[in-house]
Amino acid sequence: MLLSDECLNLHVPRAQHGHTRLDWRRPHQALERVRHVAWTCSCRATVYELCEGGGQAFIRRTVQLDGTPEVRETSPCSIHEAGMIWTALLSGQAR
């Protein structure tokens, strides 16, 4: 049974030992009209979004600090590859 105050949205679990370290870069403007395909819950300080655009995809990470949010993105790759990275992220196998 879930506790009544438990949030039911997507959350990224604790990273597993030996997880893949993703290459987080400063945001680039390469992809126009980015579509958000999936995202994790904003109840956490760090929010991840799976973004698609122009036949490519990447993961965006936003850390909600006290001041300006810190945004980092993985380099664009195929939608298939980004989907696998997203799955690894949500299972604690990549971070």
CA distance 55 to 74: 15
Under the binding rule (CB under 5 A), the answer on residue 63 touching Zn ion is: no
Name which position in 1, 2, 3, 43 contacts Zn ion (CB under 5 A). 43
CA distance 89 to 49: 11
Would you tell me how many other CB atoms lie within 10 Å of the CB of residue 61?
Answer: 20
Under the binding rule (CB under 5 A), the answer on residue 30 touching Zn ion is: no
Name which position in 41, 45, 63, 84 contacts Zn ion (CB under 5 A). 41
Stretch that binds Zn ion, among 8-16, 50-58, 59-67, 74-82 (CB under 5 A): 8-16
